[in-house]
Structure 1
Amino acid sequence: MSIAKRGLQQYLLQLQQHPLRTKALTAGVLSAISDIVSQKLSGVQKLQIRRLLLKVLFGFAYLGPFGHYYHILLDKLFKGRKDSTTVAKKVVVEQLTSGPWNNLIFMLYYGFVIEGRSWIHVKSNIKKEYPTVQYAGWTFWPVIGWINHRHVPLQFRVIVQSFVAMCWGIFLNLRARSKTLTKD
């Protein structure tokens, strides 16, 4: 048996035995990858380790656990059904609740914790950037939500979402970086 196959089996076993911990760790690792790629694509010569660790913390302490409980709640509310009507309702609920919430929480965390900005600056940035970020989210995440709720088993939804969030994080970071560069 190959190392990759054994690793996958061990991961699936951990996911089954310790779902919350495994999803939190996965979200943390994928947040790290997202930030490393973002930093490198934006031209950073030396990785900003503090920023990287803070992104890992966000993924581990917030994204993984939030996603874990949110998907369980949605599945309970909609009784685990996967018909088109139910999936559409799940996607709408997700896009009206967790989508806007997660974008706001990320922008607050990024402004306060990662950048160390004051409330005035964070509030101003959110006021200016949040509508655009949320609109972009609403053009992208419903498709992911549909696929996730329709075709992905409950225990893997947070992992799929975390993987896509890794790509979304790269987009948000590069978008923030390009805004900063155009102001200089």
Structure 2
Amino acid sequence: MGSIAKKGLNQYLMQLQQHPLRTKAITAGTIAGLSDIVSQKLTGIQKLQLKRILLKVIFGVAYRGPFGHYLYIILDKIFKGKRDTKTVAKKVLLEQVTFSPWNNLVFMVYLGLVVEGRPWVHVKAKIKKDYPTIQYTSWTFWPVIGWINHRYVPLQFRVILQSLVAFCWGIFLNLRARSIVLPKPK
């Protein structure tokens, strides 16, 4: 690893140890912003919408990072930090039947009301139409990530892995929320 990259990684790990909540929040915000940049490009937006990117960064910093930080701490306390197969299955199940539906709903509301500025009646209709499909898709995707996270990833890195995977999930949600279908490759 190059000297600059190694120093950057060491500095990041030090910040993660000294200021875990802040570091995870900033990381989640940065990744959310990058995810939105990719989403905008995939939907054909020529000029990046900076306000939209900033609002996604704020969502990551103010909600996603802190929520994940405390979620994983609470789950580890409930299950006493165990990583055996049965305990991990319980953690994943609990996460998927409670936190997953909540997070998808919060994201759809935030995207519709705050980011896109739609009236509540339109956001509500969009949620009614798309939420079941989004949640079903979530349940086919996130349990695998949850399993890996709870079984193999140390507590301090779980939000980071979740944020990196959420990069792709955020693109999916953005495309789904905008009801844009990508053209099929020829």
TM-score, reference length from structure 1: 0.96
1:49 aligned residue: 50
Give the drift of 1:26.
0.1
**2:144 counterpart letter in structure 1:** V
Cα deviations across residues 155-184 of structure 1 (Å, max 9, x unaligned)? 00000001101110011112333x2569xx
In the TM superposition, 1:145-160 aligns within 5 A as 145-160=146-161
**2:92 counterpart letter in structure 1:** V
2:145 aligned residue: 144
Q: Any gaps of 5 or more consecutive residues in structure 2?
A: none
Matched, 1:127 2:128: yes
2:168 aligned residue: 167
1:37 aligned residue: 38
2:118 aligned residue: 117
2:69 aligned residue: 68
How far apart, CA to CA, are the structure 1 residues paired with 2:60 and 2:84? Answer: 31
How far apart, CA to CA, are the structure 2 residues paired with 1:157 and 1:181? Answer: 31
How far apart, CA to CA, are the structure 1 residues paired with 2:110 and 2:42? Answer: 22
How far apart, CA to CA, are the structure 2 residues paired with 1:125 and 1:43? Answer: 21
How far apart, CA to CA, are the structure 2 residues paired with 1:133 and 1:49? Answer: 26
2:7 aligned residue: 6
How far apart, CA to CA, are the structure 2 residues paired with 1:117 and 1:35? Answer: 18
Give the drift of 1:43.
1.1
Give the drift of 1:145.
0.2
How far apart, CA to CA, are the structure 2 residues paired with 1:141 and 1:181? Answer: 22
How far apart, CA to CA, are the structure 1 residues paired with 2:4 and 2:136? Answer: 42
Cα deviations across residues 43-95 of structure 1 (Å, max 9, x unaligned)? 11100011000000000000000000010000000000000000000000000
Segment of structure 1 superposing worse, 109-118 or 168-177: 168-177
**Identical pairs, percent:** 71
In the TM superposition, 1:82-93 aligns within 5 A as 82-93=83-94
**1:100 counterpart letter in structure 2:** P
How far apart, CA to CA, are the structure 1 residues paired with 2:88 and 2:63? Answer: 25
**1:125 counterpart letter in structure 2:** K
Partner SS for 1:97: helix
The number of residue pairs the alignment matches comes to 181
How far apart, CA to CA, are the structure 1 residues paired with 2:180 and 2:9? Answer: 40
1:26 aligned residue: 27
Cα deviations across residues 132-153 of structure 1 (Å, max 9, x unaligned)? 0000000000000000000000
